[in-house]
Chains A and B, each alone.
Chain A
């Protein structure tokens, strides 16, 4: 299943406006205004100017919060999104409710304690973002993330992503009926199921991953799971042997 562009001109428009450029602009803009997000529960809130609003929407980071504030817009980020902006792109700082700036290590410790599987989830999220894929929450599709080749207004999402790790600690897709369920869901919204397996490469146990530097030691394997239909394959004649 290749990329399904929405309407004429979308593919050309996407090509003319690479995601990497928009992210680069976003980085510059946030750095210039010394942006600071507010850590609140499992979210980070950020006040933005119109240019930043536009860039965050273009790159699909966060969700806008509707307020009557005329002078600035507000955005809400997931922990993965916020940590990516803060740690991976180094363009946003984060404070707590007492206006105290948090270091990357402090944020890491906080996020790991707040959200189960944050480590694997963040590794998978950043693995895709680094390749310039647009990554959004997949919870309404029963998956962890959905991945788009460009902005969702231009292209349909290609992958429904599930994150696994060594030992399959999160008990996903344990039985065949789970497969049927997830594949059916993905299939009905025309996405391919993508499994991202985070290899800890020997880093196991909570004590050994106390800082984000452990992320460098992880690797990510990609596998898609598709259902094969022998009836359709045969009818397509693609699998028929030529002499």
Chain B
């Protein structure tokens, strides 16, 4: 399997400050092309979710610091994931890592890349924009979503975009698909239909993780032709 290794690791890597109250990290020093496809922009600042931070920390591209300016060791980042901090889970991280390593661009469903993305979308309905992104001004509004986000249930978790060297957060286009994690078992017909209804025509995929292996399935709505 091809592993993406970002060049600037160990000394000279990027730095982020973990913000416990947000359940996210604020990137203070972003080095390398990976930031074009990682993190969300709010109020001119770059924020990342726990899975983004852990992925980059694992490959040595990011150092995470706590409020006391101490570098958070990998062990403690794993513990944060174990604790479900910031709406994360080990399972969702494994899925994230699997796709990110293969070059796919991933973000949490329901969160816009940046406010520019929200503005450029057709804002014909107040408070809504394309792809169900919330129109929030501040980062704290997003983190309030975490309490309602339950990654263990079969619901949309990630928006996945294809590998793209010309990706722009300000106009990312539509996701290639929306990914649901369905660890309890395969989704029922009703669950599939309900989530499809929420996702406005963007293809859906369901996945689960077992023993470190990620399996992804599509449930395609088809109609067999009438034959002559």
Taking a contact as CB atoms under 8 Å apart, the answer to whether A222 and B98 are in contact is no
Q: Complex Cα distance A147/B226, Å?
A: 13
Query: Count of A residues near B, CB < 8 Å?
Result: 40
Q: Complex Cα distance A28/B7, Å?
A: 75
Residues of A within 8 A of B163 (CB): 234, 239-241
Taking a contact as CB atoms under 8 Å apart, the answer to whether B186 and A175 are in contact is yes
Q: Map CB proximity to A onto B187-228 as digits: 1 under 8 Å, 0 otherwise.
A: 011001000000000000100101000011111111111111
Shortest Cβ distance from residue A1 to the other chain B in the assembled complex, whole angstroms: 11
Q: Complex Cα distance A43/B218, Å?
A: 37
Instruction: Tell me the nearest residue of chain A to B103, going by C-beta.
Output: A234
Q: Complex Cα distance A222/B189, Å?
A: 11
Shortest Cβ distance from residue A182 to the other chain B in the assembled complex, whole angstroms: 11
Residues of A within 8 A of B103 (CB): 234
Taking a contact as CB atoms under 8 Å apart, the answer to whether B185 and A131 are in contact is no
Residues of A within 8 A of B186 (CB): 173-176, 178-179
Taking a contact as CB atoms under 8 Å apart, the answer to whether B162 and A228 are in contact is no
Residues of A within 8 A of B216 (CB): 227-230
Residues of B within 8 A of A222 (CB): 221-224
Interface residues of A in 103-152 (CB under 8 A from B): 128, 131-133, 147, 149-150
Shortest Cβ distance from residue A229 to the other chain B in the assembled complex, whole angstroms: 8
Q: How many A-B residue pairs have CB under 8 A?
A: 99
Q: Determine if B8 is an interface residue (Cβ-Cβ < 8 Å).
A: no
Q: Determine if A13 is an interface residue (Cβ-Cβ < 8 Å).
A: no
Q: Determine if B176 is an interface residue (Cβ-Cβ < 8 Å).
A: yes
Residues of B within 8 A of A20 (CB): 227-228
Q: Determine if A180 is an interface residue (Cβ-Cβ < 8 Å).
A: yes
Pick the contact of A227 from B1, B99, B166, B215 — CB < 8 Å?
B215
New A-B pairs, 14, CB < 8 Å, besides A179-B186, A221-B189, A229-B216: A131-B224, A131-B226, A131-B227, A132-B227, A133-B224, A164-B189, A178-B186, A183-B217, A224-B222, A227-B216, A230-B102, A234-B103, A234-B104, A241-B164
Could you tell me which A residues sit within 8 Å of B by CB distance? 15, 18-20, 128, 131-133, 147, 149-150, 159, 164, 168, 173-176, 178-180, 183, 194, 197, 221-231, 234, 239-241, 243
Show 30 A/B contacts (Cβ-Cβ < 8 Å), sorted by A.
A15-B228, A18-B228, A19-B227, A19-B228, A131-B224, A133-B227, A159-B224, A168-B188, A174-B185, A174-B186, A175-B186, A179-B186, A183-B217, A197-B189, A222-B221, A223-B219, A223-B222, A226-B218, A226-B220, A228-B218, A230-B102, A230-B104, A231-B1, A231-B102, A239-B176, A240-B163, A241-B162, A241-B163, A241-B173, A243-B166
